[in-house]
Amino acid sequence: MLSNTYAKEISVVRAALGAAAELCRNVQDRIAIAKEDRSPVTVADYGSQALVCRAVREAFPDDPIVAEEDSTLLRAPEQSSLREMLAEHLVNVRPGCSLTDAMKWIDYGNAEGFSDRFWTLDPIDGTKGFLRKEHFAVALALIVDGEVAVGGLACPKLDGGTLVAVRGYGAEQGKRSISVSKIDRVSNARFCESLESGHSAHGDAQRVADYLGITTESRRLDSQAKYAVVARGEAEIYMRLPTRKEYVERIWDHAAGALILSEAGGRVTDCTGRKLDFTCGKGLARNRGIIATNGKLHDEVISALKALEIGQELPEA
């Protein structure tokens, strides 16, 4: 059972992510084919952010929210059809809400920098997976004094319900505790990595696999669902390896998933073994790439990266 210390926060996370996931599923189900038209994911992004930010602000009016979207595009005169689609989907989940309400709620997520207590939200993590009707996530986390205190992931394509964790008290999916795999021989490990090569260097990942003697084919999927897969014991290693020197990871892409995996018994650092630093605003500017494992294999993976000189330099300023 998760801590009573954050009982209200846990309740808000579960309810907010549930509502957002419902809206996103409704939008995703109506996508005819995967195509260049990004309006469905845009509607889902805005609708998800509106619902989650409203729930957080109503429960915790003094807490800033650092989220991925704002309403600038939505307010443009030429976006009337987008606004109509958003309104249609929002009223199905929250009857009676107006577009004026929705845009106000979206912009609750416009906080910029670090504070002692704040939330971070990715309303749709895994855009291309969403458009393919495959994996995506809605990710919400509370950061207190630079540490992720509460994290939640709604991964509608993974069975079992919303994943929630509280620092020091474990991780659950639905009402069931989850834990990482006990595999401790690295050659038996299963990789989990980004489906899109632009998100993680697949060639470097193969070099690491070869170095460690891992022959099992990688499981590739979009979004922070990868953290959930490792946390549930269905893979042992998730690597997000840098694809370009200047790239800085965003906090909303990792905060919730990293806590859930850590509380399930795993370990998350950057490619050099440094813990993730959530005190730099929107970006993980003091980190390079992401390595997430079941914990037992972590040091071997970091040693392999160092030996192969992969991801050892900080992003360029």
Please give the positions annotated as active site: 45, 127
* C-alpha closest to that of 257 among 118, 104, 150, 176: 150
Q: How far apart are the first and last CA of the chain?
A: 43
- Tell me phi and psi for residue 117, to 5 degrees: -145, 120
Query: Is 56 in contact with 108 (CB distance < 8 Å)?
Result: yes
Helices (H), the chain: 7-29, 39-59, 72-75, 80-93, 99-106, 127-131, 202-212, 225-231, 255-263, 298-308
Using the structure block, give the residue that is written with the tokens 């249609």. Answer: 88
Tell me how far apart the alpha carbons of residues 251 and 122 are, in angstroms, rounded to a whole number: 9
Q: Beta partners for 220?
A: 193
